[in-house]
Amino acid sequence: MNDRSVAAACEVALWLDARGCEAVLVTDDAEACAMPLRGVSRSEIGEPGLAVALGGDGTILKAVHLLAGVDAPILGVNLGRLGFLSGAEESELFSALESVLAGEARIERRATLQALVDVGGREAGRFHALNEVFVGRGGGARVVELEVCVNGARLWDFPCDGVIVATPTGSTAYALSAGGPIVSPDVRGIVLVPVAPHTLDSRPVVIGPSDTVEISCPNRARADACVTVDGDQVPCRRALDSVTIRAGEHDVRLLKPDGKGFIEVLADKFLGA
């Protein structure tokens, strides 16, 4: 966290303590705070009644991964630029908290993805995403060749920079930059977007929430693909075999004290209406 976020976190913790709520900070943030506030490690977080993420949309993503499936509502307060996922601006911080504590804030349930990564013939890990899973070339300049199957039926097989598999929430992130559609979070679906495909007949596709996507590297000479989950790269020391992606088992709950719906936020943040 930067100095601005740390200062805001300290103020929020003291404000909550004064109202009878036990407030804790992640250990690193607590150490950066000049006030004697309790810090907890990732393993000590438990199941909080509320998580407050102070920063931009990236901070909310970090909070989601820090909670790792814990069903705690998240209030995002925008201290960054866009703040598309946030429920309040910095100037609305304490009025938003009042609304949350009074039980007046609207809750948006956001779908997630789970990805099973196989590397070198073995399972390399299972990962969860709120925005997207990207499979594609890493730091090198060479394209990768990917085969994309949905429920066992082949959809794409082409050289490309990569393929984005996104939630409706992630449709306004990397997927949007790659030419994908904007999908309301009320729609239960999975968005597939090719990135720089070397073909003339590829288009983004929206599939159902119960569908399973498998991305593999049929050409071992072009199998140096990497996997990125919500912007964080998965360590892969060997050639990628496949990534299997399906809807996650748990939703993320985002608090919206201002009551604005998706279209209002979209018009305000993206369209300047």
Quote the CA–CA distance of 59 and 119 in Å, as a whole number: 29
Residues near 150 by Cβ (< 8 Å), separated by ≥ 6?
192, 207, 211, 212, 213, 214
In the residue annotation, 71 being an active-site residue is answered as no
Out of 3, 17, 29, 57, which one is annotated catalytic?
57
Query: In the 8-state DSSP scheme, what is residue 181?
Result: P
CA Rg value for the chain = 20
Question: Which of the residues are catalytic?
Answer: 57
